[in-house]
Structure 1
């Protein structure tokens, strides 16, 4: 009887442990971190295009004035360019990002994800800088 109870308790513990929440492996956590950096700025993609349009509208408005302030025109053109580049950079990163490990070893996956973290962080920073510049110029 004691053996049966011990057997049931032991089996239950194994089942609970097997069915419980698993802790992600190093590569799974790294992949989640890469996606988290992406997810931080992805919702702002529409805002980039909207601000780009505003900057281009401002360029058109300034060019239609009698005394054209060429410095201001160039600032707004540069802003529109930066906003467009940030938008395109995010799409370029998303197109090349592989969500599946395929035939790669764990070490190759880690190296790939480390590279992706660098790339997506650059995109993240580029987007934030473009948005900050737009916030400053388009007040």
Structure 2
């Protein structure tokens, strides 16, 4: 009788553990990677707008001086454009990103997340390049 009870307890333990969670799926890990790429540059959104304002102020300053240096003015205008575009690209990506899987199959989810990884990586790179350019021009 004791052996039967012990056997049932151990069997139940093994069945419960066998049916339990086995850790995050490949898609869950991929989703975490996508969000990590986003989270890397998201805190710099305010910095993008601040630097854009500085670049536009520099344009106004150079234009008010009646400067003949139109190439320098164009450089600051291009910087302001790049900073604004990087800022908008992040918002566009965030608006279209779907955190829920819905009724998709695991293969469809994987394909979607891989595409999102490409998109968010492009945004990440664009933001970093704009910030580096601003750092160089607005010293």
Instruction: Give TM-score, length-normalised by structure 2.
Output: 0.89
- Give the equivalent residue in structure 1 for 2:103: 103
Which has the larger displacement, 94-103 or 65-74? 65-74
In the alignment, the residues of structure 2 paired with residue 22 and residue 125 of structure 1 have an alpha-carbon distance, to the nearest angstrom, of: 34
- Give the equivalent residue in structure 2 for 1:8: 9
In the alignment, the residues of structure 2 paired with residue 114 and residue 96 of structure 1 have an alpha-carbon distance, to the nearest angstrom, of: 14
- Give the equivalent residue in structure 2 for 1:120: 120
Superimposed CA distance per residue, residues 43-99 of structure 1 (whole angstroms, 9 cap, x where no aligned partner): 111100000000000100111114331111111000000000000000001111111
Residues 1:137 and 2:137 are matched in the alignment? yes
In the alignment, the residues of structure 1 paired with residue 51 and residue 110 of structure 2 have an alpha-carbon distance, to the nearest angstrom, of: 37
In the alignment, the residues of structure 1 paired with residue 52 and residue 10 of structure 2 have an alpha-carbon distance, to the nearest angstrom, of: 64
Paired residues for 1:53-68 under 5 Å: 53-68=53-68
What SS class does the counterpart of residue 100 from structure 2 fall into?
A: coil
Paired residues for 1:35-74 under 5 Å: 35-74=35-74
Q: How far did 1:14 drift?
A: 5.2
Q: How far did 1:8 drift?
A: 3.0
What SS class does the counterpart of residue 102 from structure 1 fall into?
A: coil
Residues 1:94 and 2:94 are matched in the alignment? yes
- Give the equivalent residue in structure 1 for 2:27: 27
Alignment RMSD: 1.8
In the alignment, the residues of structure 1 paired with residue 62 and residue 18 of structure 2 have an alpha-carbon distance, to the nearest angstrom, of: 67
Consecutive unaligned residues of structure 2, counting only runs of 5 or more, are: none
Which has the larger displacement, 76-85 or 7-16? 7-16
Q: How far did 1:6 drift?
A: 4.1
Superimposed CA distance per residue, residues 112-135 of structure 1 (whole angstroms, 9 cap, x where no aligned partner): 111111000000000000000001
Alignment length (residue pairs): 138
